[in-house]
Amino acid sequence: MDMSESKGGLPPAPHEIKVADADAPAMVTRRRLLQPDFHIPPHWHARTQFLFGASGVMRVGTPRRLWIVPPTRALWIPAHVVHEIRMSGSVDMRTLYIDAEHIAGMPDDCAVLDMTPLMRELIVRVTADAPSVQDAAAVQAAADAARDSDYPLLTTLILAELRRLQSCGFDLPLPESADLRALCARVLADLAEPLDTQAYAAGLGISSKTLYRRFLSETGLTFVRWLQQAKLLEAVRRLAEGQTVTTVALDLGYQSPSAFTAMFHRTLGSPPKTYRG
């Protein structure tokens, strides 16, 4: 798992990517076809963003958290939240930008949402003819066309279905202190490395108890639980890219595919094969 999207390198003033002007409709749509490892640098939007990939996996980072977004999920990003996105494989990105007045009751922070079949089809339909570039003329043309089409009806249905989507824990918190972030970067670079808490603590010049206390304080998770979550997110990413359950299990250091499958089912409530691309 790559930490470059959130590894202490955010610029002091990430720029706004504008998606609409004052005359734009309540919901503006975009579609982009992006190549593997394509990176969208840190930025923010004045509107709330609903980020969905009809195919492919996205890794989204903010200064203190990472998310994996497979095709079965979407990411809710409130307005003015600085974030960056990296594609894992080719991605068919579909995005909705929604005015604040239409999102009452939705999360105040970023959240991965479990897509319903209806929501998926609605988004695929509403973004089918969306402009693929951030161009003022294209945005205005799309807005004009929306007023004379079934776009208003689709918007109403999407906003109604949006409130039915359940949040799910596809996120990984990151510590604030530089030494713990460096430790996380090392671990994420090789998730198959055996867990040796004492060795990690010794490398930082602290005791295992201090590592436990500091990591829990800065992330809300113990180091062991954080590593389990990191492996889970990496497994979801690899499965969505089409890797086999056996390959993913062994690459992430599990003793057997059955042990990996049991952990996966216990945590997410479904077997790994349901996430395979």
Q: What are 106-154's pLDDT values in tens digits?
A: 888 999 999 999 999 999 999 887 655 555 455 555 555 554 568 888 8
Residue 52 phi, psi (nearest 5): -140, 140
CB 237 within 8 A of CB 1: yes
What's residue 5's pLDDT? 37
Q: In the CATH hierarchy, which fold is given to the domain comprising 175-275?
A: Arc Repressor Mutant, subunit A (1.10.10)
Domain ranges of the chain: 15-168, 175-275
* Cα angle: 191, vertex 9, 224; to 5 degrees: 30
Q: What is the mean pLDDT of residues 244-256?
A: 92
Q: What are 221-230's pLDDT values in tens digits?
A: 999 999 989 9
Q: For residues 277 and 267, what is the distance between their CA atoms, to the nearest angstrom?
A: 20
Q: Is the pLDDT of residue 236 over 60?
A: yes
CA-based nearest residue to 67, from 171, 221, 191:
171
Q: Is the pLDDT of residue 102 over 90?
A: no
**Percent of the chain at pLDDT exceeding 90:** 55
Q: Is the pLDDT of residue 6 over 50?
A: no
What's residue 10's pLDDT? 40
Q: What are 41-50's pLDDT values in tens digits?
A: 999 999 999 9
Q: Is the pLDDT of residue 40 over 90?
A: yes
Residue 30 region, left (φ>0) first, then alpha (ψ -120 to 50), else beta?
Answer: beta
Q: For residues 239 and 265, what is the distance between their CA atoms, to the nearest angstrom?
A: 14
Using CA atoms, how far residue 71 sits from 38, 41, 252, 272, in Å, is 17, 22, 22, 14
Residue 148 phi, psi (nearest 5): -110, 25
- The average confidence (pLDDT) of the chain is 85
CB 1 within 8 A of CB 191: yes
Q: What are 157-196's pLDDT values in tens digits?
A: 999 999 999 988 788 999 999 999 999 999 988 888 877 8
Q: For residues 58 and 74, what is the distance between their CA atoms, to the nearest angstrom?
A: 10
Q: Is the pLDDT of residue 8 over 50?
A: no
Q: What is the mean pLDDT of residues 201-223?
A: 94
- Asked whether the whole model's pTM tops 0.85, one would answer no
Q: For residues 240 and 276, what is the distance between their CA atoms, to the nearest angstrom?
A: 5
Q: Is the pLDDT of residue 4 over 80?
A: no
Q: What are 61-99's pLDDT values in tens digits?
A: 998 899 999 998 999 999 999 999 999 889 999 999 998
Contact partners, residue 236, CB within 8 Å, separation at least 6: 57, 68, 70, 170, 275
Instruction: Output Rg (C-alpha) for the chain, integer angstroms.
Output: 20
Q: Which residue has the higher pLDDT, 217 or 276?
A: 217
Contact partners, residue 38, CB within 8 Å, separation at least 6: 86, 87, 91
What's residue 179's pLDDT? 94
Q: Which residue do the tokens 């239409």 mark?
A: 102
Q: What is the mean pLDDT of residues 224-245?
A: 91
Q: In the CATH hierarchy, which fold is given to the domain comprising 15-168?
A: Jelly Rolls (2.60.120)
